[in-house]
Amino acid sequence: MSIYVDGTTRVIVQGITGRDGSFHTRQMMAYGTRVVAGVTPGKGGRRFDGPDGMEVPVHDTVADAVAETGANASVIYVPPAFAAGAIMEAADAGVGFIVCVTEGIPVLDMTRAHALARDRGCRVLGPNCPGIICPDKTTLGIIPGSIVTRGPVGLISRSGTLTYEAVHHLTRDGLGQTTCVGIGGDPLIGTSFVDCLAAFAEDPETEAAVMIGEIGGTAEQEAAAWVSANLDIPVVGFIAGRTAPPGTRMGHAGAIISGSSGTAAEKTRAFEDNGIRVAKRPAEIAALVRESLGG
């Protein structure tokens, strides 16, 4: 099984006619994602050409797209100035699962978008995230389908390409995945490590979890405490940013050590104190997962 989405998930794409949106929509459709419509304000009534002769309608509003197609998930590729508005539109239209790939959204915009999503009972993944992929079933976002394979590992990460690096090692070592989730590199994200771990705990096919964290904030520490109190499957961790200087933003808006909190050392300690084995190098992750699954 997979978490949050599966092959039956009906997906709309907000920003489907844009450069990134159109490219990734075609990638998703080629992978098998059930993309049922797109939304671009002002371009309603057009058709979007997917791969292999597939096509989907473009609507002016998310509400129209949902009414016409019964979509229950959305992927957002709209520019930063409009992305928080796009999340709010999807939440207001009752879309239950909203993936926001956009990087660079003003944080104060996100405080309002997250508040509305909470009120409407929607789950937001991201923003500033690569999305979610369930091997052989569906992909929402930009994680390349070529690097994943089906298997027993659930993977959660704050990063994009570092996720690919880790998944690549797992796949090459014969350790497939139930679901890989990129939760995003922003300071305010809708879905946390703990949310994903709780979902993996309910999934009978997930036999081990991998958490890829980085400097900044305390999400890894909270996840470590949660694992120790609630989770029966083994967890392997990795923390990026051991060499990052304090007080400096390392690419991701959320990757900044403030004061003494949010350091890689502190997060690594939290993982180890709670029974999570920590890989020293990305290449070690797969070996630790294999060991924790009993060879």
Partner 1 sequence: MDLHEYQAKELFRAAGMAVNPGEVADDPAAVRALAGKYGGRVVVKAQVHSGGRGKAGGVKLAAGADEAALHAGAILGMEIRGLTVRRVLVSPTEDIATEAYAGILVDREGQCPVLMVSAEGGVDIEEVAETNPEAIHKLRVDPRYGLMPHQAWELATRLYSDPALARQAARILTQLYAAFTGNGASMAEINPLISTGTGEVKAIDAKVSIDDNELFRRPAVAALRDPDSESEADAKARAAGLSFVKLEGNVGCCVNGAGLAMATMDLVKYYGGEPANFLDIGGSSNPDKVVAALEIITADPGVKVILFNIFGGITRCDDVARGIVEAVGRLEFGVPLVIRLTGTNEERAREILADAGLAAVASMDEVVREAVRRAG
Cα dihedral 72→75→78→83 (10° resolution): 70
The span of 2-10, 212-220, 227-235, 268-276 binding partner 1 (CB under 8 A) equals: 212-220
What count of other Cβ atoms lies within 10 Å of the Cβ of residue 49?
A: 13
Q: Work out whether 214 is an interface residue with partner 1 (CB under 8 A).
A: yes
Least distance in angstroms from the C-beta of 158 to partner 1: 7
Q: How far apart, in Å, are the Cα atoms of 235 and each of 22, 109, 193, 208, 278?
A: 36, 34, 12, 6, 9
As given in the structure block, the two tokens for residue 168 are 């690549």
**Quick one: how many helices (H) and strands (E) in the chain?**
9, 14
Binding partner 1 by CB under 8 A: which of 10, 34, 123, 252? 252
Nearer residue to partner 1 within complex by CB, 225 or 283:
283
Pairing mode, if any, of strands 55-59 and 73-76? unpaired
Cα dihedral 129→241→239→137 (10° resolution): 20
Question: Which residues from 123-152 bind partner 1, rule CB under 8 A?
Answer: 130, 142-144, 146-147
Could you give the string, one character per residue 190-209, with x where binding to partner 1 holds by CB under 8 A and - elsewhere? --------------------
Which of 215, 219, 210, 213 minimizes the C-alpha distance to 180? 210
Least distance in angstroms from the C-beta of 103 to partner 1: 9
Nearer residue to partner 1 within complex by CB, 151 or 241:
241
Sequence length of the chain is 295
Please give the single-letter amino acid code of residue 48.
F
Which of 42, 47, 36 minimizes the C-alpha distance to 11? 36
Q: Work out whether 248 is an interface residue with partner 1 (CB under 8 A).
A: yes
Q: Given 59, 114, 169, 252, which residue is catalytic? A: 252
As given in the structure block, the two tokens for residue 249 are 């933003």
Angle at 90 between CA 88 and CA 95, to 5 degrees: 130
Binding partner 1 by CB under 8 A: which of 219, 224, 236, 278? 219
Active site residue 114: no
Q: Work out whether 76 is an interface residue with partner 1 (CB under 8 A).
A: no
Binding partner 1 by CB under 8 A: which of 108, 174, 246, 265? 108
Q: Work out whether 244 is an interface residue with partner 1 (CB under 8 A).
A: yes
Binding partner 1 by CB under 8 A: which of 236, 250, 278, 288? 250
Q: Work out whether 106 is an interface residue with partner 1 (CB under 8 A).
A: yes
Q: How far apart, in Å, are the Cα atoms of 73 and each of 13, 34, 123, 139, 199?
A: 9, 10, 10, 11, 17
Active-site annotation, residues: 252
Contact residues: partner 1, CB under 8 A: 23-24, 27, 80-81, 104-108, 110-112, 114-115, 130, 142-144, 146-147, 157-165, 168, 185, 187-188, 212, 214-215, 217-219, 238, 240-245, 248-255, 259-260, 264, 280-283
